Amino acid sequence: MKAVGDETVHLVVTSPPYWNIKDYGNHRQIGYRDTLIGYVQKLNKVWDECLRVLKPGCRMCINIGDEYIRAEGKTPYQIIPLHAYLVNNIILQTSRKRKVLYLGSIIWQKIPTTRTTGGASVMGSYGFPRNGYVSYNYEYIAIFKKRGKPPRAPENKERERIDLPGWRELFNGVWRFNGARQTAGIAVFPDELPRRLIRMFTYEGDTVLDPFLGSGTTTKVAMKMRRKSIGYEIGFRSPLTEENWTELIRRKIGYYDFSPDTRDSVFNVEIKETSPRTIHSIA
Ligand SMILES: C[S@@+](CC[C@H](N)C(=O)[O-])C[C@H]1O[C@@H](n2cnc3c(N)ncnc32)[C@H](O)[C@@H]1O
């Protein structure tokens, strides 16, 4: 993220690619066909960069679900605790570990729209003891804070006041709302997820970064909430639509709602390296 200066971002909101579940169709993607250690190490580089660009006293919020491995042959059913690895890695392994504090995770209980994290309804020895399995209908939002003095609140901060019921809902340890409808097949999160985090941790005019932009949800919501936004996306091929990924993002973030002569003053879309030529296969 060389284009982003040190300590210029007020909030990071993101959901990294899964480990070895989804092929986003780009050979430089993180996750697919990586070993677990390789995956975690690559993600660490991303978190290091995020912590470089994040302002002191500001938050980095990462949505991640644990994954399940299907029982097959000699391999028993099991859960890969990606959330635990992620938290441990950020506070113990990243080169900026001394700069970061872990502030706990929100459990996001959702009605699953895909089965990527084992959302099966009844599993195991249904009806009888010993071998039933917990149904995994939740993900996490891990919250980190960069040490240091936070930026000052703006003069007009009253406009962003959160009343007590609102505060209780936002800062509750368990969130309940639906997942997004998966029209692109790339594990999109619903608008409600970045909406809540942006409301909790930023003021109008602040900058929100998503290093795994996907379809552009974070940017779409940030713009709606009058925040600035930066997104990085390596490029994917949607298994469900023919639409090119850059077009999909442009449409979602409202690029075409602006007239051609004003677009460039609102958006700075830069597409480098990633092109259909680098796309290799589709699962
Ligand atoms: C879980 S999806 C993010 C979905 C996003 N939150 C949304 O609502 O659309 C993860 C994204 O990370 C992208 N990705 C994978 N490896 C990447 C890399 N090395 N750099 C940037 N993006 C990458 C994938 O192409 C995919 O779009």
The tens digit of pLDDT for each residue in 20-45 reads 766 767 777 777 778 888 999 999 99
How do residues 194-204 score in pLDDT, each as one tens digit? 999 999 999 99
Distance of CA 29 from the midpoint of ligand 1 (Å): 8
Q: Locate the domains of the chain by residue range.
A: 9-278
Kind and range of the H or E run holding 115: none
Total residue count of the chain as it appears in this document: 283
- The CB density around residue 153, as the number of other CB atoms within 10 Å, is 10
| Nearest CA residue ID for atom 26, ligand 1 | 214
Does the pLDDT value for residue 274 go beyond 60? no
The residues lining ligand 1, judged by C-beta closer than 6 Å to any ligand atom, are: 15, 17, 24, 28-30, 186-189, 212, 214-215, 217, 232-234, 236
Which of 32, 64, 108, 234, when mutated, tests ligand 1's pocket best, judged by the most ligand atoms within 8 Å of its CB? Answer: 234
pLDDT of residue 44: 94
pLDDT of 275 > 80? The answer is: no
Helices marked H in 54-191 = 82-92, 164-170
**Residue 146 backbone dihedrals phi, psi, to 5 degrees:** -80, 130
* 15 Cα: distance to centroid of ligand 1 (angstroms): 7
Rounded to an integer, what distance in angstroms lies between the CA atom of residue 87 and that of residue 73? 31
How far is 10 from 201, CA to CA, in rounded Å? 8
Q: What is the pLDDT of residues 207-254, one digit of tens each?
A: 999 999 999 999 999 999 999 999 999 888 877 788 888 999 999 999
Tens of pLDDT, residues 87-133: 999 999 888 888 999 999 999 998 655 555 454 567 778 889 999 98
CATH 3.40.50.150 fits 9-278, yes or no: yes
Nearest atom in ligand 1 to the alpha carbon of residue 42 is 19
Backbone angles phi, psi at 56, to 5 degrees: -60, 150
Nearest alpha carbon, ligand 1 atom 17? 29
